Amino acid sequence: MSTISIKIGKGKDVAHLSKEVCEMMLRDLERAQRPVLEATKCALDNSFYNPKVGYLTPGNKKVKTELNVSSVQKMARAIFMLEILLRNIKVGAVNNKRELYYIAKGEVKHNPKLKSLDFADQDESDAIIDFICEMFEIYREELNCFANDRGGQTYSLQLEVTETMPDGKKAVIDLSKLGTSPFQPKNRPQALKLKAKKKIDFALIVESEATANTFVSNGFTRRNNCILIGAQGVPSNAVRGWCKLIQDQLRIPMFFFGDLDAYTLQNIFRTLKAGSAASLIRNSDFSAPDVKFLGVLPEDIKKYELHDYGVKETDVGEMRALKKAKDALDNDPFFKDKKNKHLSEILQWLLKNKRRCEQQSLFMVDPKDPTMPEKVILEKIKKGSYI
């Protein structure tokens, strides 16, 4: 029995390494030995928060798949899917997971010998794609498998983006020329290069895409040298990679503004800032540890006399989020680390008071002034009222 453990660094040739894995498996089989494929365990119990880098990193736990009668199907499917993905890379084609599910079905349709590999539903093919990624410790984008570019609509009058196209050509996007249309970042931030035409003071990521749009319509980007992004809920890979890119390439202060509730704090903000347990192998490129939590903070409720309200016991979603918040305080290495003490204090406050306050409540501070939320945000940035 031999263990096939692959360590791929950035820029390594996936095709070459795939061939290496297959060669080792074949060699084991020739000797009637069981090949064992090893993948990083992407789960909370293998997550460590490194305050120096600021995101969740994987521990040493591995998920081993040894060839036996139960795993032979999984291994055969993994090799089958790997062939499809490598073919895509070779010809420069890209697909999302749903499309790959249908491509796999098409292969089976045209080759009856492969019938037993047929995926009954997309969950099955998704699991195989994830397994390949975890085994090679690569992002699925590196296998030309992209997710929907959800969220991240970006507005700025100072930012210029240069995108290197698959054919090597470059496209330059001046965001100030887009009118009221936003720039939509792609899932492959490595292909983007950023430039500030004029000094940019800060980037503001707003949880609600609609509220971000309102800010732009009311002149936020005209009055401030900034980048304004709508996160659209839990940040997608595109949003996470995009924020990381802004952080690394522009080195400007970054702030997140969203609801004051357990879900926002642990699902949205934590994922943006430090990544997630499910994506341990990609957090280094898909988290922006410098982003600060601008609010809504518990003290803002009192200071700006914001309307907050109790979480209803009957609200299943909210109650689940509170339960998860308790688990996070006990088990999540991000919230357990003293570097994020103030964030865990907010979670504790939410658990204790069972109240929530929405980001849009800033519009009640002075209902006659549509720019009031902007004024509050700028005041908070100026006074350092963030965590």
Regarding 127 and contact with another protein (CB under 8 A), the answer is: no
303 makes contact with another protein (CB under 8 A): no
Residue with Cβ nearer another protein (43 or 108): 108
204 lies in the site for another protein, by CB under 8 A? no
135 lies in the binding site for another protein (CB under 8 A): no
Of 55-63, 79-87, 310-318, 354-362: span binding another protein (CB under 8 A): 79-87
143 near another protein (CB under 8 A): no
Residue whose C-alpha is closest to residue 359's, from 282, 289, 294, 278: 294
Q: Of the listed pieces 24-32, 133-141, 235-243, 289-297, which binds another protein according to CB under 8 A?
A: 24-32
Q: Which lies closer to another protein via its Cβ, residue 28 or residue 261?
A: 28
Tell me the C-alpha distance between 192 and 185, whole Å.
9
- The correct pick among 9, 16, 52, 69 for binding another protein (CB under 8 A) is 69
Report the site for another protein in 352-371 (rule: CB under 8 A). none
Contact assessment for residue 161 and residue 175, using Cβ atoms and an 8 Å cutoff: yes
Q: Which stretch binds another protein (CB under 8 A): 47-55, 77-85, 233-241, 270-278?
A: 77-85
Q: Cα–Cα distance between 344 and 266 in angstroms, integer?
A: 9
- By CB under 8 A, tell whether 100 contacts another protein: no
Q: Which stretch binds another protein (CB under 8 A): 23-31, 157-165, 187-195, 274-282?
A: 23-31
31 binds another protein (CB under 8 A): yes
- 30 or 45: CB nearest another protein: 30
Under rule CB under 8 A, residue 67 binds another protein: yes
104 is a contact residue toward another protein (CB under 8 A): no
Q: Which of 75, 205, 291, 362 binds another protein (CB under 8 A)?
A: 75
30 binds another protein (CB under 8 A): yes
Which residue in 6, 22, 196, 329 binds another protein (CB under 8 A)? Answer: 22
Question: Per rule CB under 8 A, is residue 79 in the interface with another protein?
Answer: yes
Q: Taking CB under 8 A as the rule, does residue 18 contact another protein?
A: yes
Options 4-12, 72-80, 212-220, 372-380: segment touching another protein (CB under 8 A): 72-80
Q: How far apart are CA 7 and CA 111, in angstroms?
A: 33
Find out whether 107 and 80 touch, Cβ atoms under 8 Å.
Answer: yes
Residues that contact another protein, how many (by CB under 8 A):
31
Member of 53, 72, 172, 364 binding another protein (CB under 8 A): 72
Residues making contact with another protein (CB under 8 A): 1-2, 18-19, 22-23, 25-26, 28-34, 67-70, 72-73, 75-76, 79-80, 82-83, 113-114, 116-117
